[in-house]
Amino acid sequence: MKLYLLAFKILTLIYNIWLYFLDYFIILSYHSQKAENKILIIRLDAIGDFVLWLNAAKHFKQIYPDKQIILLGNNAWTDLAKRFTFWHEVWSLDRRKFKMNLLYRFHLLKKIRKAGFDVAVQPSYSRSFLYSDEIIRISGARDRIGPVGDFSNIHRFEKRVSDRFYTRLIPTDLKPFMELKRNAEFMCGLGVNMKSGLPDLSSAIEGVSNLLSNLNGYYILFPAASLSGKQWPITHFSVLADKIYRKTGLVAIICGSSREQHLADKLLCHVDAPVVNMVGKTNLVELAVVIRDAAFLVGNDTSAIHFAAAVSTPAFCLLGGGHYGRFMPYDLELETERPLPIPIVHKMDCFGCNWKCRYPVKKGAAVPCIANISVDEVFALLKPVLEDKS
């Protein structure tokens, strides 16, 4: 297995370098004509990362008041991004197609090159060679800014190469920071005096009706996660749902994307309490509204937890150790009366493994730090909010 992983890493590195040289064709073929009033912001990470970034993103208009700000974002969340006034335009990028479809990659990079940006900013702490760093290079912007960053998503050799794509690298503290603080650190490097605080989705969902307005009361279960190892066992979710129903009579709403329908189906097979399956039936804006009006949310370490924090809904996060301290628990510099997500943790000495678990784990199963969180532990932490709702 170790030999297989090593071979995969080597092949990935070779493919990335091949694309790097292939992209030179765009630089040679298209001249970047600078437009003094245009700035490109590149943010291509996941939905939860985007939500956590909103508190920092609103300051770009303060830094560049006379520039036309264009956000290049992950197509997983750009529809939501278009509802904010922090930028003038939002361009979408499909990460899979950008990596595997050479024609799609060519046309998008050509569009960026020909736009003639004066400034290009890549604010993500964990840079990626094939995506954000390469777009910085192709942009041809006079001023190309990014963080020094870490090695979570990039090979050391790639980072040595792509550091030279930037005209300015914002220094980053080597100490582990929660992502909200990390975003504030970058903005301070750009000259903004800001402190980390909770993001707010209220303006983006104002006036949007709730698809579940016919229900008197409900709470949300979010059984999915970006990795199967981060998913609390479905049988645990079903037992918890039964206990919550007996205590409060609240209906459980299962939420997630259409790709996670199999998890909802499995949960429905095991649970005895009333459950409504909303998996794949909401877009991000509708999901935010459904979460806003929920009594509370229980879910894995995923974007739903950050949505709940951004709409002031109590959330309980089944938190493993892979990125412990980076995205959860929340660590704010600004005080707030809004509820912060409550982490539910089975502490182990291997926390901080970047989800490279050292223990043997069956395919599709949860890693030990997730699997060993008991239903009784979760229910005990839920009791104060359950007593209020009952």
CA distance 311 to 198: 10
| pLDDT attached to residue 390 | 62
Residues of the chain below pLDDT 50: none
| pLDDT attached to residue 364 | 87
Nearest by Cα to 256 from 302, 293, 294: 302
- Say whether pTM exceeds 0.85: yes
| pLDDT attached to residue 164 | 96
pLDDT tens by residue, 2-26: 676 677 777 877 888 888 888 878 8
| pLDDT attached to residue 223 | 96
Nearest-5° angle of CA 366, CA 370, CA 373? 130
The count of residues in the chain is 390
| pLDDT attached to residue 27 | 82
| pLDDT attached to residue 23 | 86
Strand partners, 92: 73
User: Which CA distances in Å does 318 have to 13, 221, 305, 334, 376?
Assistant: 34, 11, 10, 25, 13
| pLDDT attached to residue 389 | 67
Residue 321 near residue 346, CB atoms below 8 Å: no
Residue 87 near residue 3, CB atoms below 8 Å: no
CA distance 246 to 241: 9
| pLDDT attached to residue 3 | 73
| pLDDT attached to residue 16 | 81
| pLDDT attached to residue 21 | 85
Residue 319 near residue 344, CB atoms below 8 Å: yes
Residue 179 near residue 49, CB atoms below 8 Å: yes
H or E element that contains 334: none
| pLDDT attached to residue 334 | 93
φ, ψ at 141 (rounded to 5°): -65, 150
- DSSP annotation of 365: P
CA distance 381 to 377: 7
Residue 159 near residue 165, CB atoms below 8 Å: no
CA distance 245 to 261: 22
Please state, rounded to an integer, the average pLDDT across all residues of the chain: 93
- DSSP annotation of 131: I
Q: Which domains are assigned to the chain?
A: 31-196 (3.40.50.2000), 207-389 (3.40.50.2000)
Residue 257 near residue 280, CB atoms below 8 Å: yes
| Separation of CA 101 from chain center | 24
Nearest by Cα to 151 from 137, 164, 163: 163
Identity of the residue numbered 302: T
